[in-house]
């Protein structure tokens, strides 16, 4: 299935990040648990799946706006960091403080540990304000990207409702979702153009069902493209064009956090450009691989993504 870009005159990709975060990265030459640890490097940036996907879109030459929630001192800093990156946002302010995610990098072992704070609760009035903002942003949107888990207080069916609202005004949706969210989307009438998840999320959602059977069922339901990632082992993506296996270039990752979000951003950028499935796969894999070579999520260059994309192997299976 190919996205007909000519039908959509707007240029913006709207990335929805209902669980945004302030991302901190602590780098250690080595460490032993149970001792006082002093970091050799410290970095921070705005994050969350939608934010990282928006950054990837921008790095690949596109235009994106982050839509979702941000609150408290952390939310204020998140907005400041977005402004410093020249990343556009339409975030709804919340009473609860935006969560912090910390990546601990051990340079000696080349292992990273991710520490994630629990999400604060959003209230009904904040959800209503977000929905109003989302509706306004749709008027200038070519493509919507939905990604991530939901904070407490968010209706479980909100992704299904956002998809329906976008499709009602002719805006396709790409979704990085799993569990109840994808099952509701799968069973509901409005369908995302693309759905992606990693292999762990696939098992959590579909259990031990065979991938090929799930692919057949999802495509028959009206989902245009379905993709499952397997980390360094690549990705399986399918549409009516067939089932393809993508093998990323061999590399030594610096920080894989945000690679999946960058893949979503790469997908969106290629879809926006009217690429077919193979081009979408190549763009997404290139962005994901390039992001894994950076300390901060999705902080890759367009040249690095292009190089990784060119080195990606793709075969029809």
94 forms beta bridges with 71
Q: Give the Cα-Cα-Cα angle 136, 270, 315 (nearest 5 degrees).
A: 145
Percent of the chain residues topping a pLDDT of 90: 85
Q: Where along the chain do its domains lie?
A: 10-316
Q: What is the pLDDT of residue 133?
A: 97
Task: Report the DSSP pairing between strands 225-229 and 63-71.
Answer: unpaired
Spatial separation of the C-alpha atoms in residues 243 and 96, rounded to whole Å: 43
Q: What is the pLDDT of residue 7?
A: 54
Mean pLDDT of the 94-122 span: 95
- The encoded tokens of residue 38 equal 């002093």
Alpha helices per DSSP H over the chain: 49-59, 72-84, 124-138, 158-168, 180-187, 199-206, 211-221, 259-272, 277-292, 302-310
**The domain made up of 10-316 is a member of CATH 3.40.50.300:** no
Q: What is the pLDDT of residue 215?
A: 94
State the pLDDT confidence band at 47, using cuts at 50, 70 and 90.
very high
Summarised one tens digit per residue, pLDDT across range 109-163 is 999 999 999 999 999 999 999 999 999 999 999 999 999 889 999 998 899 899 9
State the pLDDT confidence band at 2, using cuts at 50, 70 and 90.
low
Q: How far is CA 159 from CA 15, 146, 168, 313, in A?
A: 12, 7, 14, 33
CB 155 within 8 A of CB 122: no
Summarised one tens digit per residue, pLDDT across range 183-232 is 776 676 778 999 999 999 999 999 999 999 999 999 998 999 999 999 88
Mean pLDDT of the 270-282 span: 93
Spatial separation of the C-alpha atoms in residues 314 and 55, rounded to whole Å: 25
Q: What is the pLDDT of residue 190?
A: 79
Spatial separation of the C-alpha atoms in residues 247 and 47, rounded to whole Å: 27
pTM of the model: 0.93
State the pLDDT confidence band at 4, using cuts at 50, 70 and 90.
low
Q: Lowest-confidence range among 85-89, 101-105, 174-178, 260-264? A: 174-178
Mean pLDDT of the 249-263 span: 94
Give the chain's mean pLDDT.
Answer: 92
CB 295 within 8 A of CB 105: yes
Q: What is the pLDDT of residue 178?
A: 83
Q: What is the pLDDT of residue 32?
A: 87
Decide if pLDDT at 313 tops 90: yes
The string of DSSP letters for 87-111 reads: -EEEEEEESSPPEEEEEEEETTTTE
Decide if pLDDT at 6 tops 90: no
């Amino acid at each position: 299935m190919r996205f007909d870009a000519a039908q959509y005159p707007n240029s913006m990709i709207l990335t929805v990040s209902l669980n945004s975060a302030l991302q901190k990265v602590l780098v250690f030459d080595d460490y032993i648990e149970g001792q006082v640890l002093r970091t050799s490097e410290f970095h921070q940036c705005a994050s969350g799946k939608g934010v990282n996907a928006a950054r990837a879109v921008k790095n690949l030459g596109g235009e994106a706006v982050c839509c979702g929630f941000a609150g408290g001192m952390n939310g204020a800093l998140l907005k400041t960091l977005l402004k410093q990156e020249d990343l556009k946002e339409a975030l709804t302010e919340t009473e609860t403080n935006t969560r912090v995610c910390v990546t601990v990098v051990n340079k000696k072992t080349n292992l990273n540990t991710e520490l994630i704070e629990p999400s604060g609760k959003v209230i009904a009035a904040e959800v209503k304000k977000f929905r109003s903002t989302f509706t306004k942003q749709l008027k200038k949107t070519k493509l919507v990207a939905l990604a991530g888990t939901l904070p407490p207080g968010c209706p479980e069916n909100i992704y299904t409702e956002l998809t329906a609202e976008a499709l009602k005004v002719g805006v396709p949706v790409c979704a990085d979702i799993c569990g109840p969210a994808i099952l509701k989307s799968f069973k509901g009438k409005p369908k995302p153009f693309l759905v992606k998840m990693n292999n762990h999320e696939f098992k959590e959602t579909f259990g031990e069902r065979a991938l090929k059977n799930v692919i057949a069922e999802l495509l028959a339901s009206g989902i245009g493209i379905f993709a499952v990632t397997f980390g360094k082992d690549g990705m399986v993506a399918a549409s009516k064009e067939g089932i393809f296996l993508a093998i990323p270039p061999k590399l030594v990752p610096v920080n894989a956090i945000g690679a999946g979000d960058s893949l979503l951003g790469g997908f969106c950028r290629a879809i926006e450009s009217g690429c077919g499935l193979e081009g979408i796969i190549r763009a997404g894999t290139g962005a994901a691989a390039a992001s894994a070579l950076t300390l901060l999520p999705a902080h890759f260059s367009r040249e690095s993504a292009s190089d990784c994309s060119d080195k990606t192997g793709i075969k029809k299976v």
